[in-house]
Amino acid sequence: MPSILLVEDEPDMQRGLRDNLEFEKYEVDIAGDGRTALKMITEGAYDLIILDIMLPAMSGLDVCKQVRQQGITIPIIMLTARGEEIDKVLGLELGADDYVTKPFGVRELLARVKALLRRTEGTAGGGQEKMVLGLLEIDFASYAALRAGQPLSLTPKEIEIMKYFWHHRNKTVSRDELLTNVWGYDQTISSRTVDNFILKLRQKIEDDPANPRYLLTIHGVGYKLIA
pLDDT at residue number 189? 58
N-term to C-term CA, the chain: 39
Handedness of CA 122, 28, 92, 183 (dihedral sign): positive
Q: If you classify domain 130-225 with CATH, what class do you get?
A: mainly alpha
pLDDT at residue number 82? 65
pLDDT at residue number 185? 61
pLDDT at residue number 125? 38
Residues of the chain with pLDDT under 50: 122-128, 186, 188
Q: What is the rounded CA–CA span in Å between residue 127 and residue 48?
A: 22
Tell me the pTM. Answer: 0.67
**Residues whose CB falls within 8 Å of the CB of residue 79, separated by 6 or more in sequence, listed in order:** 8, 50, 51, 52, 53, 60, 99, 100, 101, 102, 104
Phi/psi for 226 (5° steps) reads -90, 120
Specify whether domain 3-120 bears CATH 3.40.50.970: no
> Tens digits of per-residue pLDDT, 72-100?
888 999 998 866 666 777 788 888 888 88
How wide is the angle at C-alpha 148 spanned by C-alphas 145 and 150, nearest 5°?
Answer: 55
pLDDT at residue number 72? 85
pLDDT at residue number 80? 86
Q: Where are the domains of the chain?
A: 3-120, 130-225
